[in-house]
Chain A
Amino acid sequence: MTDTTDAPEEAEVVDEARTALLEAITDEWGDAIVDHHLIPGKDLWIRVTSEAFGDTADYLRDRQRFRYFNWLSAVDWMPSPFGRSMDAEVDKLISAKAGEAVEEEEAEEAGTGYAGGDTRFQVIARVNNLTTLLGVTVKADVPDDSLTVGTWTKAFPGSDWHEREMFEMYGISFAGHPGLRNLYLPGDFEGHPMRKDFPLLARIVKPWPGIVDVEPMPPLANSLSPDGETPGGESADAPSTTNPGDSQ
């Protein structure tokens, strides 16, 4: 943790490649890039307007040589109206007894993720450049009224199944897709299962039971309580944490 000799240098090198890529994309693509997010040495996100989403694929493939289609997916940014579906009273009692911070029921806020977002649904796609070994994650807002964005199948035929999956799971349409129909679900299935307001029926029929076995948990090896989060709870209640090296 303390050796910082090599790490920053390495990060900067990778960063340069991604910054250059980002500059090239923003220069050429101009207003279509709404926002971007770059984590040096890790990854790059760009957010394009929903009108430009379909053409982004051609641009990235032909001009930036992102020839490898990785995946296409979507996110529903609406907070789940069903909460976490995994809070049981017994868990809270046990946590409180162990002195651990009890998780309060917090109302989730509608987040927007990296590079922001204005609508409920966002499509995310990822392409790779196998020469420079860089990957880029492209995001676009899906207009709330039409739920339609441009297809990627013209540039990448492999996008076909991914878009069909998003069509059935989120109800997002892709304009220009050759055959938009359900991929996994039966043709007459109603609803879009991956939407946050689609209930996970198994959890509603039979709620999460919580910890059924009420014996105290064994002390965790090599794991200490986080600084500040659970002040003194573990060391006071549980037996001292053992190191596997000592006992063997």
Chain B
Amino acid sequence: MTAVSDRRQLAYIAAQAADARVNVELEAEGMTLNIGPQHPATHGTLRIVARLDGEQVIEADPIMGYMHRGYEKLTEVRTYPQVTTLINRIDWLGSFANEVPFILAAEQLMDVEAPPRAQHIRTILFELARIANVTLFLGDMGVQLGAVTPVFYAFRDREHVLNQIEAATGGRFHPNFDRIGGLKDDLPAGWIEETKKSLKEIRKFCDQMDDLIVGNEIFQARTRGIGVIPADVGLSYGLSGANIRASGVDWDLRRDNPVGLVYDKVDWKVWTHPDGDSFARYWVRLQEVRESCNIVEQLLDTIPSGPVMAKVPRIIKVPEGEAYIETENPLGVMGYYVVSKGGLNPFRVKIRSASFSNMSISPWLLKGAYVPDVITILASLYFILGDIDR
């Protein structure tokens, strides 16, 4: 299990680029292959028009918009508390995490701070959303390579976490639980113990995936050295989350800029991998789920007492100003640029979603890849269509 060395990586990239260049220079006609819009690898409806030369992709052009719901426009005719209902549906697998940066941005504009207990519970739910989201990826990656079993394990064990999210918030997928100034409700009785139990199941699941997938020879052969993203390319495309950490960039907003969340009170580690290939992205996410379990377990033991809601006006008016808050969401950096003109509803909300930037590298990344690898690379980038199209 030696890591792919830098030299091999660079040689691979150079070979791929040279191949693609030769094909373009020869003006090889090739064929056009439509991948999608309905393809299980796309987590929604993404269409990729790939121009092929034999088995190799010369040019890939992703076509989005099949799921564009215009949330940026719709936020302009919603009051601030109503916006959370919409943005829940951006990354539908980790919904609670979508609400947090928007609420934090509104809180910054209003100069309100959530009480310590609310911040604490927010962080717990934020991490549970991450676990629920990334767990599915860990199983789904197997499906893209032809191993169907892991995804059933993923659906089974994700349920433990979803049950806890439902018990606390009332919603399995769309909690709509975060409020400006705190949370809607306190935690129910017995929730902490139950959550600890569910985390044990998740840890067991991670070990299973370690054995079933990471240690699997076929998986390694299909992912190592495939879809290599060098760090500087990743940065210039705005890659974030596990995708950029798998390229060796040690940057995690949870540690580096934990606005409004309590990650600084926990002892945890940011995982990185030097390779930047599909395998590294899987490996980093696997470690991150374990780390999230670690974070939540520590937080569950140290929840401070007190109210879960700060004193905020009944009718929420946000003073004039602009704020940009970003957090480390399950898929990567998610941020909201909120422009307020002092009214009941935002004047402009720019949603910086992780998958949009993560996918913008795909035309570059898929150039020179082989057709079966296209699916692996897309799956390892891990995008949710709602997060691209918004």
Contacts and interface: CB of A to CB of B under 8 A. Distances in A.
Instruction: Name the residue in B73, B235, B326, B361 with the highest tally of chain A Cβ atoms < 10 Å from its Cβ.
Output: B235
B206 to A, nearest CB: 28
A42 B108 CA distance: 9
Interface string B345-375: 1011010100011001100100000000000
A126 B186 CA distance: 36
Nearest to A245: B307
A124 B347 contact: no
Interface stretch (A24-32, A80-88, A142-150): A80-88
B236 to A, nearest CB: 5
Interface in A32-71: 42-43, 45, 67-71
Contacts of A222: 182, 307-311
B232 interface: yes
Given A43-B324, A84-B345, A70 B339 contact: no
Contacts of B310: 222
B87 to A, nearest CB: 16
Given A84-B344, A184-B68, A194-B73, A157 B315 contact: no
A68 B77 contact: no
A200 interface: yes
A130 B64 contact: no
Interface in B249-308: 249, 251, 256-257, 307-308
A175 interface: no
A43 B73 contact: no
B323 interface: yes
A171 interface: no
A100 B314 CA distance: 9
B327 to A, nearest CB: 13
Contacts of A101: 315
Contact of A223 (B256, B309, B341, B345): B309
A84 B307 contact: no
A75 B339 CA distance: 9
A224 B311 contact: yes
A115 B182 CA distance: 31
A161 B360 contact: yes
Interface in B62-81: 64-65, 68, 70, 72-74, 76-79
Contacts of A109: 341
Nearest to A109: B341
Contacts of B345: 84, 86
Contacts of B191: none
Nearest to A208: B77
B73 A70 contact: no
B311 A223 contact: yes
Interface string B199-241: 0000000000000000000000000000000001101111100
B6 interface: no
A184 B72 contact: no
B287 to A, nearest CB: 20
B309 A70 contact: no
Contacts of B343: 84, 108
A244 interface: yes
A184 B344 contact: no
B2 to A, nearest CB: 28
B129 to A, nearest CB: 22
A186 B47 CA distance: 13
Contacts of A208: 77
Contacts of B73: 193-194, 200
Contact of A67 (B236, B314, B347): B236
7 contacts: A42-B323, A68-B235, A133-B257, A158-B361, A185-B68, A223-B312, A226-B313
What 6 pairs across the A-B complex have the smallest Cβ distances?
Answer: A184-B65, A158-B237, A226-B313, A222-B309, A73-B350, A158-B238
Interface of A: 42-43, 45, 67-71, 73, 75-76, 80, 84-86, 100-101, 103, 108-109, 111, 113-114, 124, 126, 130, 133, 135, 137, 155-158, 160-162, 182-186, 193-194, 200, 203, 208, 220-226, 229-230, 234, 244
